[in-house]
Amino acid sequence: MINFYNKCEKFDKAIELFDSVPKDRVDTTSYNCVIQSYIGKGDLNRAIEILDEMQHLNILPNSTTMTIILTACADSKNYEQGLRVLNIVGESKLSSTQLMTSMINFYNKCEKFDKAIELFDSVPKDRLDTSFHNCLIQSYIGKGDLDRAFSIFNHMKEYCSIQPIIPDTTTYLVLLTGCADRESLSKD
């Protein structure tokens, strides 16, 4: 029900419903929903306080929890809070493709492109998929290295011998945006 209110952008109703549930009946999924409510309201600090509350109550955050918060940190370019979340991720050993790509995107949005590339390079080759490569392409575009971004695009299938890496619409959108940005810079 909390998630329903979130989808309808009735964040206060979602929070009210969450607050009415006894704490001993609340699980990680419920916490994820209320964290999303606070983020939807634009209150990242309160969302992180909820994460702290979860940990205090020994309710373990999962990859979804961390992805939600880290994405909000990236969108608001809140590097300090994002580093705090990354520290929790590191301590917890949480890992998923979605979480890892949100970590790379966090670094990209905070213009820490070398850190994003370093994180990409640390991912086992058999886990690399299109979403990881899209993040890497975005990193090189952010660094102003459009040639390297296109090189990655041209060689995506070579990164993983287990399965081919197929460009998707996001891949093309990232590259087209990079080309447009470079073109507008050259006109200035």
Q: What is the DSSP string of 113-142?
A: HHHHHHHHHHS-GGG--HHHHHHHHHHHHH
Q: How many Å apart are CA 109 and CA 96, to the nearest integer?
A: 20
Based on the domain organization, do 87 and 109 belong to the same domain?
no
Please check whether residue 43 is in contact with residue 77, taking contact to mean a CB–CB distance below 8 angstroms: no
pLDDT band at 164 (very low <50, low <70, confident <90, very high): confident
Please give the model's pTM, rounded to 2 decimal places: 0.88
> Containing domain of residue 139, as a range?
95-188
Based on the domain organization, do 121 and 44 belong to the same domain?
no
Average pLDDT, the chain: 91
Q: Which of 44, 70, 93 is the last residue of a domain?
A: 93
166 token code pair: 């197929």
Instruction: Determine the average pLDDT of the residues in 66-86.
Output: 97
Based on the domain organization, do 83 and 171 belong to the same domain?
no
* Geometric angle at alpha carbon 14, from 10 and 19, rounded to 5°: 150
Q: Which of 73, 93, 113 is the last residue of a domain?
A: 93
Q: What is the DSSP string of 66-109?
A: HHHHHHHHHHTT-HHHHHHHHHHHHHHT---HHHHHHHHHHHHH
Instruction: Determine the average pLDDT of the residues in 7-34.
Output: 94
Based on the domain organization, do 82 and 143 belong to the same domain?
no
